[in-house]
C-alpha cells in the first residue's frame, strides 16, 4: 500500500507580498512580508508586531542590549493588497492564458 506524505497546504500569501493586517494590535497597518513559516501558518511582516528582546551580555557584546524586532503574525490576520488598485482583497487561483495556475484578486479580477 502506498503512503501519501502530508503536503503543506498552499497559502494565500507569500514572501514579497504587500499585506494589510485585518485584526490584532496592528490592525489597519500595511507592510511587506519578509518570510513565511508554512508549517506554523505564520508570517513576519516588515514593521508590524514589533517585539522587544533582551540580549544577555556575552564576550562579543559585553554590555548586553535590548533589541526591537518583528514578531510573527498568523496568516489569517493578513490580506493581500492588489498591486493594481492598492486595496486589500481576498485571493483565488485560476488558470492564466498560458494555462498556469496563478493567484488573482477576487475584488478586481487582476492577476497578482
The fraction of the chain above a pLDDT of 70, given in percent, is 97
Task: Indicate whether 92 and 112 sit together in one domain.
Answer: yes
**Residue 68, SS3?**
strand
Greatest CA span in the chain, whole angstroms? 60
Count: domains in the chain = 2
pTM for the full model? 0.81
Q: How many residues does the chain have?
A: 112
The answer to whether 11 and 19 have CB atoms below 8 angstroms apart is no
Are 71 and 105 in a shared domain?
A: no
Same domain, 72 and 24: yes
Q: Tell me how far apart the alpha carbons of residues 11 and 3 are, in angstroms, rounded to a whole number.
A: 24
Same domain, 93 and 76: no
Range of the domain at 97: 84-112
Instruction: Write down the pLDDT at residue 10.
Output: 85
d(CA 70, CA 82): 23
pLDDT of 26-81, one tens digit each? 999 999 999 999 999 999 999 999 999 999 999 999 999 999 999 999 999 999 99
- Tell me the per-residue pLDDT of 47-62, one tens digit each, with 9 for 90 and over: 999 999 999 999 999 9
Amino acid at each position: 500500500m502506498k503512503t501519501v506524505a502530508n503536503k503543506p497546504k498552499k497559502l494565500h500569501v507569500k514572501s514579497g507580498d504587500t499585506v494589510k493586517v485585518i485584526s490584532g494590535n496592528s490592525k489597519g497597518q500595511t507592510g511587506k512580508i519578509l518570510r513565511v513559516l508554512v508549517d506554523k501558518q505564520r508570517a513576519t511582516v516588515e514593521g508590524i508586531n514589533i517585539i522587544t528582546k533582551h540580549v544577555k551580555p556575552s564576550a562579543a557584546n559585553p554590555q548586553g542590549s535590548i533589541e526591537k524586532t518583528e514578531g510573527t503574525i498568523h496568516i489569517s490576520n493578513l490580506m493581500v493588497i492588489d498591486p493594481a488598485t492598492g486595496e486589500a482583497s481576498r485571493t483565488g487561483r485560476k488558470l492564466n492564458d498560458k494555462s498556469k495556475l496563478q493567484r488573482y484578486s477576487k475584488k478586481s479580477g487582476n492577476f497578482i
